[in-house]
Structure 1
Amino acid sequence: MKNLLNTNLLRSILLIAVIISAVFQSNGQETKPSASGYAPVNGIKVYYEVYGEGKPIILLHGAFYTIEMNWAQLIPELSKTRRVIAIEMQGHGHTPYSDRALSITTLASDVEKLMDYLNIDSADVAGYSMGGSVAYQFAVQSPKRLRKLVIISSTYKSNGWLPIVNGGFKNFKPEFFDNTPIKTAYDAVAPDKTKWRKFLAQMFAFAQVPFNVGDSKVAKIAAPVLIISGDNDGLDKIELAKTYQLLGGGVAADLAPMPKSHLAIVPSQGHVTLMMQTKTILGYLNDFLK
């Protein structure tokens, strides 16, 4: 009975997510990249798009998403003053499926190799969900390439999520994704649509492997970090508070200097709906990055 309830709950969550994603995507402003292409990195080719001019910021999407599904509303605003580089990670969107084992360590290395390809010495990096975990790993692996870090509804370790989130993918089945906007978006841009089920199987396996960038390593991140979380986005808020303390936060700022890292908890938001709060997220980003 418990497994049945969890399966039905996960189906409902996925349905809500894909419906919101479709609305989010359709409301995005039409902005064309000034450049796009494939960067050869670590034995695969990673697709990227470039918008605007100015200091670079790299955007890392969430699991199963494309650039458009994740960032359609933010890119037009960010690119008014910044050079925005959005990528699609292994198997996602335009980036071909690969049998290469998935890990946040490898995906973070892909980001650095992409920067080498585009001749970017250092950049701000923003990641949502899975992209946020990759961004944490990037901050640890490539500290000299990072200016500021933005983490949206994400964590650097598996137990940063609530138990129901960690156990969710055990009951996920490929057919849950049939006839969804996520599948439609994949079919629209994937180089080889026949890899869809292989991609899903790879992602399910990836999601079930525990990960931990490391408390001591996160505590050594020198770059300022902005954490944005929904109050009910599936993150364990006790662990989130500990993360903020590792980054220098959680002090009495009236009695001590204000930390360089910031924490924003957005009320009445889940994991998916948080990304729809464009004005709120943009306000936090602009204040933090300027």
Structure 2
Amino acid sequence: MYATVNGLRMYYEVHGRGDPLLLLHGGVSTIETSFSKILSVLAENHQVIAAEQQGHGRTADLDRPLSYEQMADDTAALLRHLDPTSADVLGYSNGAGLGLQLAVDHPALVRKLVMITPAYHLGGFHPGFMDGLADLTAAALDGTIYQQAYAKIAPRPQDWPAFVQKTKIMDQAFTGWTAEQVRAIAAPALVVVGDSDIVTPEHAVELFRLFGGGASGDEVGLPPSQLAILPGTTHLSIMDRAAWLVPIVEEFLAVSPVK
């Protein structure tokens, strides 16, 4: 299905019934390449709304830059089009950053926030990771699941090189969010990373603390936010960990937010 939001013809899918759960895919990705292992399982208990952002998958690009701010505005417009009063939000990789931006700019729409491999500032990545973006080309991604998915479902498969370049420019311009912006988010958050992720475990703990975590729960009670570090897990393999991810996410979403 498509909805026209902010001049963008945005592709989205709705699966299942229950409280709305919005899925936000990773960079140069699609609904399937990010969520094929967990979407149908989550749809057993939720109304899953999965959207493809500007230039991604079945959503054609526009003559405007890619940015977290614009994608958050587009996503907010989609949610308002679908008319839930609020939704739980789950984002992976760039989608985790998009979820964070959505909670900053459109807080009334975000009930709970699940961020899988999030970095809220540049220091969250392992040293040298962002330097590798300088060498990223469309040709370097030839044959990957991302390029193959784009070739199969994009409205204009020939746009792949320009799309990769536009994504690269957005990632190179990334500065992140301030601690003050994160602390101001009222929605409880679940932070999930792999122990061998592109995001350091220390950064995951830092972000968890900004959402009110990190104290002794036996003494002061459990915080509304949670942290999970999955063992033996990388950035690319984390979304294959459905047997771990789904129960962790479901338990977090089932707990009523602290008022």
Q: Which amino acid aligns with 1:269?
A: T
CA shift for structure 1 position 181: 2.4
Counterpart pick for 1:164 among 108, 114, 128? 128
Q: Which residue of 2 aligns with 1:284?
A: 248
Deviates more, 1:180-189 or 1:142-151: 180-189
What per-residue deviation string (whole Å, max 9, x for no partner) do you get for residues 176-203 of structure 1?
1123322111011111112111101101
TM score, norm. by length of structure 2: 0.95
What is the alpha-carbon distance in structure 2 between the residues aligned to residue 228 and residue 237 of structure 1?
10
Q: Which residue of 2 aligns with 1:240?
A: 204
* SS class of match (1:216): helix
* SS class of match (1:272): coil
Q: Which residue of 1 aligns with 2:168?
A: 204
Percent of paired sites with the same residue: 36
Task: Flag structure 2 segments of 5+ consecutive residues without an equivalent.
Answer: 255-259
What per-residue deviation string (whole Å, max 9, x for no partner) do you get for residues 237-264 of structure 1?
3232221111111101121121110000
Aligned residues between the structures: 254
1:52 paired with 2:16, answer: yes
Q: Is the 8 A contact 2:201 2:229 kept in 1?
A: no
Q: Which amino acid aligns with 1:187?
A: A
Q: Is the 8 A contact 2:22 2:88 kept in 1?
A: yes
1:269 paired with 2:233, answer: yes
Q: Which amino acid aligns with 2:191?
A: I
What is the alpha-carbon distance in structure 1 between the residues aligned to residue 82 and residue 144 of structure 2?
34
Q: Is the 8 A contact 1:103 1:206 kept in 2?
A: yes
Q: Is the 8 A contact 1:75 1:84 kept in 2?
A: yes
1:105 paired with 2:56, answer: no
TM score, norm. by length of structure 1: 0.85
What is the alpha-carbon distance in structure 2 between the residues aligned to residue 81 and residue 181 of structure 1?
28
* SS class of match (1:57): strand
Q: Which residue of 2 aligns with 1:226?
A: 190
Q: Which residue of 2 aligns with 1:190?
A: 154
Q: Which residue of 2 aligns with 1:143?
A: 107
1:93 paired with 2:60, answer: no
1:129 paired with 2:80, answer: no
Q: Which residue of 2 aligns with 1:82?
A: 46
* SS class of match (2:10): strand
Q: Which amino acid aligns with 1:223?
A: A
1:215 paired with 2:172, answer: no
**Per the alignment, do residues 56 and 199 of structure 1 end up closer, same or farther by CA in structure 2, a change over 3 Å counting?**
same
What is the alpha-carbon distance in structure 1 between the residues aligned to residue 59 and residue 39 of structure 2?
19
What is the alpha-carbon distance in structure 1 between the residues aligned to residue 191 and residue 145 of structure 2?
28
What is the alpha-carbon distance in structure 1 between the residues aligned to residue 99 and residue 189 of structure 2?
11
* SS class of match (1:154): coil
CA shift for structure 1 position 270: 0.6
CA shift for structure 1 position 236: 2.5
CA shift for structure 1 position 287: 0.4
What per-residue deviation string (whole Å, max 9, x for no partner) do you get for residues 162-188 of structure 1?
222211211112211123322111011
What is the alpha-carbon distance in structure 1 between the residues aligned to residue 179 and residue 120 of structure 2?
9
Q: Is the 8 A contact 1:162 1:234 kept in 2?
A: yes
CA shift for structure 1 position 111: 1.1
Q: Is the 8 A contact 1:174 1:200 kept in 2?
A: yes
Please give the root-mean-square deviation of Cα atoms over the aligned residues, in Å.
1.1
Task: Flag structure 1 segments of 5+ consecutive residues without an equivalent.
Answer: 1-36
CA shift for structure 1 position 77: 0.7
